[in-house]
């Protein structure tokens, strides 16, 4: 059917309800029509597409294999239509699209979003966290900029990163006197997205211990590396904002403190002039300002 004017919409709706419920009677009750009306619609649809959708006795029909496939497809299509109607009825200004790195979302943003939604209950925050530039337009993008990156004029600085060595109390075997010797005894945890972070930390504390760790395990994302540290698998170099809650609670130790790295976090407003964007940026910058300072 190339011409959508010929789509038997009423018959499609009747068959979708019948395939979902498994009986014509329940479909008739849902759509507030008679059993015979549903039966006629299904027969009309079968004739239009040239495929049998139900088989068996008239009082207890069952879906054919083709009917099951078609029913699943129709249910998914009607669900998409309903989602689109809900989105339109709520209005574009109720949806707030935010893009950020997955680890920042998991370890910092998501645990605090309840505060934003409590202040602004009319917004539905949707996060894009695939660690790549968002494919679709977003309202706000939270970026981490590496040393030497070009900072655009429309980027606003959120904070500068602070790095520190962290590990679980369970692997602290005794007093820490010599940083180089002690760190060399710890299994080293690394992250594929930040392969040189141990070297960065060594430069920050002016020590040559980055390559002295006994063994290393590498994880795909920072949040996995931090979870490994929390579970006593080794030591990691992690940013303060990602581990502050665990350090303050004593779940992680950071005996050498945290030191400012050359990485910075910025916020980019991609859809300007909207109240929802202004509300989110104001809340985010306020939450950053209230965040506890790093340990030294």
Q: Are residues 99 and 178 in the same domain?
A: no
Is there a contact between 194 and 241 (Cβ–Cβ < 8 Å)? no
Q: Are residues 84 and 15 in the same domain?
A: yes
Report how far apart the first and last C-alpha atoms of the chain are (Å, whole number).
70
> From CA 99, how far away is CA 123, in angstroms rounded?
16
Task: Give domain status of residue 283, yes or no.
Answer: yes
Those residues with Cβ within 8 angstroms of residue 9's Cβ, 6 or more apart along the chain or in another chain:
none
Helix (H) or strand (E) holding 147: none
Three-state SS at 239: strand
Q: In this predicted model, what pLDDT tens digit does every residue of 116-164 receive, in sequence order?
A: 999 998 888 988 886 555 556 788 999 999 888 888 888 999 999 999 9
List own/partner pairs for 127-132 with CB under 8 A and 24 or more apart: 127/98, 127/99, 127/100, 128/97, 128/98, 128/99, 128/100, 129/99, 129/100, 129/101, 129/102, 129/105, 130/102, 131/101, 131/102, 131/193, 131/221
Q: Are residues 145 and 211 in the same domain?
A: no
For the record, the structure tokens of 283 come out as 């809340």
Parent domain of 169: 160-262
Task: Give domain status of residue 295, yes or no.
Answer: no
Q: How many domains does the chain have?
A: 3
Task: Give domain status of residue 153, yes or no.
Answer: yes
Q: Are residues 169 and 223 in the same domain?
A: yes
Is there a contact between 256 and 164 (Cβ–Cβ < 8 Å)? yes
> From CA 35, how far away is CA 27, in angstroms rounded?
8
Q: Are residues 25 and 63 in the same domain?
A: yes
Q: Are residues 154 and 279 in the same domain?
A: yes
The CATH number for 63's domain is 1.10.10.10
Q: Are residues 258 and 268 in the same domain?
A: no
> Which pLDDT belongs to residue 231?
94
Residues of the chain falling short of pLDDT 50 = 1, 210
> Which pLDDT belongs to residue 82?
75
For the record, the structure tokens of 58 come out as 């008239």
Q: Are residues 63 and 180 in the same domain?
A: no
Tell me what percent of the chain is helix, strand and coil, each rounded to the nearest 5: 45, 20, 35
Is there a contact between 132 and 138 (Cβ–Cβ < 8 Å)? no
> 3-state SS of 177-193?
CCHHHHHCCCCEEEEHH
Q: Are residues 232 and 257 in the same domain?
A: yes
> Which pLDDT belongs to residue 108?
94
Task: Give domain status of residue 244, yes or no.
Answer: yes
pTM: 0.65
The CATH number for 121's domain is 3.40.190.10
Task: Give domain status of residue 17, yes or no.
Answer: yes
Backbone angle region of 50, left / alpha / beta, with phi > 0 → left and psi within -120 to 50 → alpha: left
Q: Are residues 100 and 19 in the same domain?
A: no
Indicate the Cα dihedral angle 78, 32, 53, 62, nearest 10°: 120
> Which pLDDT belongs to residue 89?
57
Task: Give domain status of residue 296, yes or no.
Answer: no
Q: Are residues 113 and 30 in the same domain?
A: no
Q: Are residues 58 and 193 in the same domain?
A: no
């Amino acid at each position: 059917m190339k011409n959508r004017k010929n789509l038997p919409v009423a018959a499609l709706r009747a068959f979708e309800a019948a395939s979902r419920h498994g009986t014509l009677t329940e479909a008739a009750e849902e759509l507030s029509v008679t059993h015979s009306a549903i039966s006629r619609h299904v027969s009309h649809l079968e004739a239009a597409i040239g495929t049998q959708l139900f088989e068996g006795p008239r009082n207890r029909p069952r879906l054919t294999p083709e009917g099951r496939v078609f029913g699943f497809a129709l249910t998914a299509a009607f669900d998409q239509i309903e989602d689109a109607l809900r989105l339109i009825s709520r209005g574009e200004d109720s949806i707030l699209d935010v893009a950020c790195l997955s680890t920042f979302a998991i370890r910092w943003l998501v645990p605090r979003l309840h505060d934003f939604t409590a202040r602004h209950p009319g917004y539905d925050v949707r996060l894009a966290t695939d660690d790549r530039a968002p494919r679709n337009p977003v309202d706000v993008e939270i970026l981490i900029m590496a040393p030497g990156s070009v900072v655009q004029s429309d980027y606003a600085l959120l904070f500068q990163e602070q790095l520190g060595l962290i590990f679980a109390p369970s692997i602290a075997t005794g007093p820490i006197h010599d940083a180089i010797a002690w760190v060399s005894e710890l299994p080293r945890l690394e992250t594929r997205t930040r392969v040189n972070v141990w070297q960065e930390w060594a430069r920050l504390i002016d020590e040559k211990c980055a390559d002295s760790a006994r063994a290393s395990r590498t994880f795909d994302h920072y949040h996995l590396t931090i979870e490994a540290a929390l579970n006593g698998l080794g030591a990691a170099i992690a940013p303060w904002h990602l581990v502050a809650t665990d350090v303050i609670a004593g779940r992680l130790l950071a005996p050498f403190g945290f030191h400012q790295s050359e990485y910075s976090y910025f916020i980019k407003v991609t859809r300007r002039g909207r109240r929802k964007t202004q509300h989110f940026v104001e809340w985010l910058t306020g939450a950053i300002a209230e965040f506890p300072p790093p340990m030294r």
